[in-house]
């Protein structure tokens, strides 16, 4: 799954800051002098200070490094080196295996940093870095980075980039394992949770936050954010929606909180959505064979928010209009606490706080155009026909991607 994700999004944000999952937090294999690590030459370091629980009286500096990088073994006493590595611009590699370090990379440089055992603290500033955490609960401060990769594991905390670009590209792709936290900075960031019980905070910027498992909390924060729950599709289109929605599964459910700004929340069966301030757009995806509870929206405002419910079952081809016809299949039931949207008697979405919603279904062209509609919608209660702006909720069928 991770390989597919990298292929799907890497092309659209090439050169951005990537953070990939390091699921098992296993120790990195011992490197011999001259061995290649992630495309670079391994550097032999003097790590004798890591074998002692007593902090050294003076920082130990490896003589094999052409810089002043210093490694320590106590998280409460990080050792700082502001001297950049002496690498070839845009092509040199420095591999560091240690426990606690702070370094600054010059513009155009690329460095590999491998942390060891224990609870480590790492601060990286400058251009580009590749970081792999080790065993323990590590903290990586990448707020000063403009690019690179970070492989984080269970219990780690990663702080995203504060480097604000004048373009719409992402500054960071973050992937966290079980129980990890990601705190975004002011940049536009793309963060992905690949394990349960993870929490992603978007922070400032227009962020994309994805949950690839369940029991994940996504908080967009400020900016116009995209939050995607249970995005277990092999293909992800960052400019629209999950492109292969038929592969969605739900072993557990996510909580999506948009925050400030005009946010997009994509929920599947059982997810909980809270748009927050701003004009928010909700999309709910429900499979024909789903056995999970309906998606829940807790703060829908008909005057400014929009909701589209997508149902499975569309034909893979373009000439089966019947599979997209929802006539007599959709109901809208007003309740004291809100409104339930039902399809074939099954609740697919619950909207709290609004007892009466105008729900429309598309009128199919019936001219062999498959999922295309005439642009008009029919009210499921009154039968009135109008344009999309006359409805609070639209229910559609999405096409299958395979025959």
What ranges make up the beta strands (E) of 13-107? 17-21, 36-37, 40-41, 60-61, 70-71, 80-81, 95-98, 101-104
- For 23, which DSSP code? T
Q: Select from 289, 235, 296 the least CA-distant residue to 267.
A: 296
Instruction: Find the mean pLDDT for residues 198-223.
Output: 88
- Alpha-carbon distances, residue 31 vs 28, 37, 40, 250 (angstroms): 8, 8, 12, 41
Question: How many CA atoms does the CB half-sphere of 308 hold within 13 Å?
Answer: 14
More confident call, 203 vs 155:
203
pLDDT of residue 75: 32
Least confident of 265-269, 276-280, 374-378: 374-378
More confident call, 111 vs 342:
342
Instruction: Find the mean pLDDT for residues 296-317.
Output: 87
Least confident of 50-54, 82-86, 286-290, 315-319: 50-54
Question: How many CA atoms does the CB half-sphere of 167 hold within 13 Å?
Answer: 6
Instruction: Find the mean pLDDT for residues 224-241.
Output: 59
pLDDT of residue 228: 93
Average pLDDT, the chain: 66
pLDDT of residue 285: 86
Q: Length of the chain in residues, anyone?
A: 403
Pair 294, 347: CB distance under 8 Å: yes
More confident call, 370 vs 348:
348
- For 3, which DSSP code? H
Q: Residue 215's pLDDT band (boundaries 50, 70, 90)?
A: confident
Cα–Cα distance for residue pair 155/138, rounded to 1 Å = 7
Q: Residue 218's pLDDT band (boundaries 50, 70, 90)?
A: very high
pLDDT of residue 171: 60
Cα–Cα distance for residue pair 180/191, rounded to 1 Å = 12
pLDDT of residue 177: 64
Q: Tell the burial category of 312 from Cβ atoms under 10 Å away from its Cβ (0-12, 13-18, 19+).
A: middle
pLDDT of residue 214: 75
Statement: residue 237 has pLDDT above 90: no
pLDDT tens track for 270-295? 899 999 999 999 999 887 655 668 89
pLDDT tens track for 137-181? 778 887 777 666 677 777 778 877 766 555 455 665 666 667 778
Give 291's contacts (C-beta < 8 A, 6+ positions apart). Answer: none
Instruction: Find the mean pLDDT for residues 304-327.
Output: 78
pLDDT of residue 223: 92
């Amino acid at each position: 799954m991770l390989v597919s994700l990298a292929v799907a999004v890497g092309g659209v944000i090439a050169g951005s800051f990537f953070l990939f999952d390091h699921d098992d937090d296993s120790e990195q294999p011992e490197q011999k002098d001259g061995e290649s690590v992630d495309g670079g030459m391994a550097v032999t370091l003097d790590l004798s200070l890591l074998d002692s629980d007593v902090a050294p009286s003076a920082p130990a500096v490896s003589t094999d490094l052409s810089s002043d990088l210093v490694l320590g073994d106590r998280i409460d006493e990080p050792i700082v080196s502001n001297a950049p590595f002496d690498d070839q611009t845009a092509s040199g590699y420095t591999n560091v295996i240690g426990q606690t370090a702070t370094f600054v990379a010059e513009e155009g440089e690329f460095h590999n940093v491998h942390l060891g055992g224990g609870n480590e603290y790492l601060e990286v500033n400058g251009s580009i870095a590749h970081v792999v955490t080790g065993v323990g609960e590590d903290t990586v401060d990448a707020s000063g980075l403009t690019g690179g990769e970070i492989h984080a594991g269970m219990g780690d905390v990663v702080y995203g980039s504060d480097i604000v670009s004048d373009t719409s590209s992402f500054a960071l792709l973050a992937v966290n394992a079980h129980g990890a936290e990601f705190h975004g900075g002011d940049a536009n960031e793309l963060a992905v949770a690949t394990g349960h019980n993870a929490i992603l905070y978007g922070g400032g910027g227009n962020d994309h936050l994805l949950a690839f498992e369940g029991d994940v909390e996504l908080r967009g924060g400020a900016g116009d954010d995209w939050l995607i729950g249970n995005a277990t599709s092999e293909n992800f289109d960052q400019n629209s929606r999950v492109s292969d929605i038929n592969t969605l599964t739900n072993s557990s459910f996510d909580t999506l909180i948009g925050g400030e700004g005009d946010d997009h929340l994509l929920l599947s069966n059982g997810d909980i959505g809270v748009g927050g301030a701003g004009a928010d757009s909700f999309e709910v995806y429900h499979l024909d064979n789903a056995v999970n509870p309906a998606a829940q929206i807790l703060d829908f405002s008909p005057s400014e928010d929009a909701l589209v419910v997508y149902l499975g079952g569309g034909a893979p081809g373009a000439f089966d209009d019947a599979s997209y016809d929802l006539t007599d299949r959709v109901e809208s039931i007003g309740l004291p606490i809100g409104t339930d949207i039902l399809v074939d008697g099954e609740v697919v979405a619950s909207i709290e706080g609004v007892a009466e919603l105008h729900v429309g279904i598309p009128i199919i062209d019936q001219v062999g155009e498959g999922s295309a509609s005439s642009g008009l919608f029919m009210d499921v209660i009154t039968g009135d026909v109008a344009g999309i702006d006359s409805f609070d909720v639209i229910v559609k069928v999405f096409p299958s991607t395979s025959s």
